[in-house]
Amino acid sequence: MTDPSHASENARSTTNPYRVLPQLSSLLETIETDLVSPQLRAHILRDELDRIRREIDEGARPSTQVVTERCRAAIAALRGSRLDEAINGTGIILHTNLGRAPVSEATAAAMSKAASSYLSLEVDPESGRRGGRMDEIARLMRVLTGAEATLVVNNNAAAVLLTLAGLCAGKEVIVSRGEAVEIGGGFRIPEVVSQSGCRLIEVGTTNRTYNSDYLRATSEATASFLRVHPSNFQIQGFVTKPSTAELASVASAHGTLLIEDLGSGALIDTAGFGLRSEPTVREALSAGASIVTFSGDKLVGGPQAGIICGHADLLQKITRHPLARAVRADKTTLSGVAATLRHFVAGEAELRVPVWQMLGASVDELRRRAEVICNETDAAVVDSTSSIGGGTLPGETLPSVALALSTANADEFARRLRIGTPRVFSIIRDGAVLIDMRTVQHRQDGILADALRGAIG
Ligand SMILES: *Cc1c(COP(=O)(O)O)cnc(C)c1O
């Protein structure tokens, strides 16, 4: 970046602006570290010097000291990781930029074990013969949702793409205009439908679509109706769409499939948490959806994955499609998904799965935790509002409690928190830095207090 103090001074002078760039050999002597090999060090420094040279081309006027510091930082950056543990004080539970759902301790342990050892992934231990890699997850999912069969892939975007490619390629897929949506960066239903080799037929209007709209568009060429959860927006006012059950009966009367992209994939009802009711996977399947897809790392609260549930014959067709191999989940993910599902089977999701712990935490409990931290720092406790995030339950909020730190410069204080160890992500409101307690994992309370003290000091 440019160094403004030197920019103006050097711009007027007639000296060569490139003279601040040191010789590589002298840099190699100044920046000593035994942590990176000399060849690699030379490579990194050459890259950084090239970058600075291009910036000078464009008018930047860094000082020699800035250049040296940047070279030093480029080498140091290789040792430290940006992917370090972070404390989420934003109040957004499924924060996409912070990695969405943190997994339970048991899930993390299962994933770590799977990563560092062999496992009976595709072997039936009883017979020693080859077994399916989805057997265990399919069994758990059958108990939880009634699904005949399950396939886990890389993420829900892959789940939708693969399902359409496997079941509908070369034919028409009917989507309501209110559901031909874009979710997150780059997942746009019209594009996904065309990438999967299907022709999109849009019906109805943005706010109102009826059974009869689907019916009129149905023909020999129709492979499926596709319902998509409008995950990241809400339409207020006059809105109509058929229920899954209504649409399923139209679909089955005309021999077409009903594929439902649920997005979040609730396994338990969110209504018990003071939130709007999200359709659960079980409800969608029992209402007659042939296939449902959802993410593993939204309301399931597990690792990143896409989960496809539905009729066994359809799942078999999907599994055999060549794309299935391209988007398949690895052993670590499969172990993590299975471990997370076991919490739901045991009825302990609210106690063990971080996303559900956060959804279920009471304001009193959050206030008590905040007060403990306040006693150790000079923060104040204020009311706050958490949201779900991650394209889940848009517009829904939960009352919460935050730590408030008043500082002369909130932006600078927030930056200090972000670059500390661990990193702390906060919100700035009315000039104060707030840390919403709902999204701080309970086990992080102590290190949060330390981080705050460090940043204040
Ligand atoms: C989030 C979401 C997706 C994308 O899921 P990823 O797991 O992020 O790939 C697709 N469809 C809907 C309806 C969603 O909410």
Per-residue confidence (pLDDT) for residue 14, from 0 to 100: 62
Q: Which of 100, 187, 337 to mutate to test the pocket of ligand 1 (most atoms within 8 A of CB)?
A: 187
Q: Atom 1 of ligand 1 has which residue's CA nearest to it?
A: 263
Q: Is the dihedral of CA 71, 75, 76, 82 positive or negative?
A: positive
Q: Helices (H), strands (E): how many in the chain? A: 19, 15
Q: Give me ligand 1 centre to Cα 156, in Å.
A: 5
Distances in Å between the alpha carbon of 400 and those of 93, 382, 406, 417? Answer: 12, 9, 19, 21
Would you say the CB of residue 231 lies under 6 angstroms from ligand 1? Answer: yes
State the alpha helices, DSSP H only, in 309-437.
Answer: 312-320, 322-326, 331-345, 349-352, 354-360, 363-376, 410-419
Residue 187 Cβ < 6 Å to ligand 1: yes
What does the pLDDT read at residue 307? 98
CA distance 271 to 278: 8
Q: Is the CB of 300 under 6 A from ligand 1?
A: no
Kindly report the protein residue whose alpha carbon is nearest to atom 2 of ligand 1. 263
- What type of residue sits at position 311? H
Ligand 1 mean position, distance from CA 287 (Å): 21
CB atoms within 10 A of CB 31: 17
- At 203, which helix (H) or strand (E)? strand 199-203
Smallest CA-to-CA distance from 402 within 366, 446, 378 is with: 366
Which residue minimizes the CA distance to atom 15 of ligand 1?
263
Give yes or no for residue 95 CB within 6 A of ligand 1.
Answer: no
Give the DSSP H/E element, type plus range, for residue 397: strand 397-406
HEC per residue, 10-67: HHHCCCCHHHHCCCHHHHHHHCCCCCCCHHHHHHHHHHHHHHHHHHHHCCCCCCHHHH
Ligand 1 centroid from CA 254, angstroms: 28
Which atom of ligand 1 has the smallest separation from the CA of 229?
13
Nearest residue (CA) to ligand 1, atom 7: 156
155, 163, 183, 228: which to mutate for ligand 1, most atoms within 8 A of CB? 183
Q: 301 CB under 6 A from ligand 1?
A: no
For residue 457, the model assigns a pLDDT of 77
Q: Which residues contact 422 (CB under 8 A, 6 or more apart)?
A: 84, 85, 86, 87, 444, 447, 451
Query: CA-CA distance, 37 to 263, in Å (whole number)?
Result: 46
So what's the pLDDT on residue 237? Answer: 84
- Span from the CA of 439 to the centroid of ligand 1 (angstroms): 21
Q: Which of 96, 295, 308, 396 to mutate for ligand 1's pocket (most ligand atoms within 8 Å of CB)?
A: 295
In angstroms, rounded to a whole number, what is the distance separating the alpha carbons of residues 245 and 366? 40
pLDDT of the residue at 421: 87
pTM of the model: 0.89
Q: Nearest C-alpha to atom 14 of ligand 1 is from which residue?
A: 263
Separation of alpha carbons 431 and 46, rounded Å: 42
Q: Tokens for 359? A: 């959804």
Residue nearest to atom 12 of ligand 1 (CA): 263
pLDDT tens digits in sequence order for the chain, 457 residues long: 444 445 444 444 568 999 999 998 888 888 877 777 888 889 999 999 999 999 999 999 999 899 999 998 888 887 777 788 999 999 999 999 999 999 999 999 999 999 999 999 999 888 989 888 999 999 999 999 999 999 999 999 999 999 999 999 999 999 999 999 888 778 899 999 999 999 999 999 989 999 999 999 999 999 999 999 988 888 888 888 999 999 999 999 999 999 999 999 999 999 999 999 989 999 999 999 999 999 999 999 999 999 999 999 999 999 999 999 999 999 999 999 999 999 999 999 999 999 999 999 999 999 999 999 998 888 999 999 999 988 888 889 999 999 999 899 999 999 999 989 899 999 999 999 999 999 999 999 999 999 999 888 7
